[in-house]
Structure formats: C-alpha cells, structure tokens
Amino acid sequence: MKVVISEIPRLMFRGDCMVLASIGLFGIAWFSGQSLKVPAGRWRQLIALASCNIVGWNIFAIYGVSMLPSGRAAILGYTMPLWSALLSVWFLNEPLTRRRLIGLVLGMSGMALLIGAEFEKLGSAPIGVLLMIIAAIFWAAGLVIYKADPLPMSISALTAWQALLGGIPMALAGHALESVEWGRISFWPMFGFWYNVFIGLLFCYWAWNKLVHMVPAAVSSLGSLIIPVVGVFSGMIFLKEVPRWQDFAALVLVLAAIASVLLPPRRTA
C-alpha cells in the first residue's frame, strides 16, 4: 500500500480500487446467476456496513499508514479482534467463552510484542497511531453490524454493493481534491494498484465476508490476526529486514490464538 500511495493519491487510490472491484464482483454474481437485488428494508444496514467496512476503515487506515511504518501500521489495524470481541459481547450477546478469551489474550499479546518493539517510533507519531486504532474500531463495528442481522444476499452481491457504496464517495472526493498523471506512474505502484483491485479487494474482501458469514464474530476476527504477522515476515524476506525475537514470539502467540479458537474441543470419553 505504501508503494502505491507514493505515486497515487490516497483517496483516489482506494476509491478507484473499490469501484473497479465492485464492477468485477457484480459481474461474477450476475454470471453466476445470483440476485443483485438488495432486500426490501435493508438499505440502511447495507449503507451502515459500507460506511464502516469501506469508508471508515479505508480512510483512517490509508492516512494512518502514510504516517507509520507499514508493518507496524498493519499491527495496529489488526487490534480489530479486541474491539470486535468486546462489541460482540455487548451487542450480539455472544458468550466470551474461556477458549475465546484465551485466544484473545494470546493474540493481543503477540500484537503487543510487536508494538512494544517499536514503542518509541509509534510514540513519535501519535496521530498515525490514533488513526489506525480508529480504523480498527470501524472495521470491528462493521463486523458486529453484519452479525447482528445478516443480510439475505449472496456474498458476491453483498461485497459488491459495499464496495460500490463506499467506493463512490471516496473516488469522487479523490478526483475532486487530488490529481495524478496516470501515464507517469511507475511499474510497482501501478502493479500494486491492480493487485489491490483483483487480489486485495475482489478476492480477499469477498473471502473475508464469506468467513464472517460462516462463523461467529469473535472467531472470524481472531483468525485475521495472522495477517500482520505474515506482513512482518514478508518484510524480512523481500525487504531484507533482520528478524527479532519478538517477531518469532508473536508468530507463536498468534498461531496459538487461532488454534485455541478454531480447533475443535477435545471430546471426553
């Protein structure tokens, strides 16, 4: 993401990606014979989902990322499970079982290790830290809004509508407030742009919504904790960053968190 916004303005980048991805998702749903119609009386909920999952998350995250190292920004963004677990207990009456509580503690401990290693750097960019935490809360709120009363729509159509409703205002604002000469964008930022359209949004965002539909909010949110760990280790591989003990310890904690939630409980004889 940081490579892309080095040459493509932030709002234009995310807004255009969302609109393009929504077109692809609408096409997939249509060719698959799925209904694109929004159920009667559900527009308000759909707009709320788009406002949290697309507008709130992306706007705060894209500006937060620009103020922080990308790996650490991802870690802050993925404090989402903490807010999701709390909101799901309060608003969805989901039980905070012992296994989920253990998973939450283990996962957030892993995040704390990675954040702690960069505490001084984070402290020098309080606005960026705040933006990423707000983004995480928006993401968690969107998850809870959906789980409170799932929309009776196909995942492709649901994802497409969210991307379109959230992407249009961001794209309009971007093109009104920002400018870019598309012909002068270098290879990697342009590659990152289209990667976000086809992989990050068209596929991964669809897959995330599918996961949210299938499992409880606390489970799906905890499963996402592996993403920033992958990001940190990818930086080691592709950016030649030197691994630290905190990175390895965080990986173990996050994997343990996911296992504690997703693995079936042991049956007693």
241-258 tens-digit pLDDT: 666 777 778 778 877 877
Biggest alpha carbon distance in the chain? 68
Expressed in percent and rounded to 5, the helix, strand and coil fractions of the chain are 80, 0, 20
In tens, the pLDDT along 38-92 reads 999 999 999 999 999 999 999 999 998 888 766 667 777 877 877 887 788 888 8
Contact 115, 246 (CB under 8 A): no
Query: Which pTM was predicted?
Result: 0.82
Q: Note the pLDDT of residue 28.
A: 93
Cα(201)–Cα(199) distance, rounded to whole angstroms? 6
Give the per-residue pLDDT at 248. Answer: 76
Contact indicator for 178, 11 with CB cutoff of 8 Å? yes
36: pLDDT strictly greater than 60: yes
Residue 187 has pLDDT above 90, yes or no: yes
Taking the C-alpha atoms of residue 101 and residue 221, their distance in angstroms, rounded to an integer, is 13
Q: What is the mean pLDDT of residues 149-178?
A: 95
Per-residue pLDDT at 14 exceeds 70: yes
Which of the 8 DSSP states describes residue 153? S
At 222 the pLDDT is 66
User: 57 or 267, which is more confident?
Assistant: 57
Nearest CA-CA partner of 245 in 71, 113, 137: 113
Task: Average the pLDDT over 95-122 and give the result.
Answer: 76
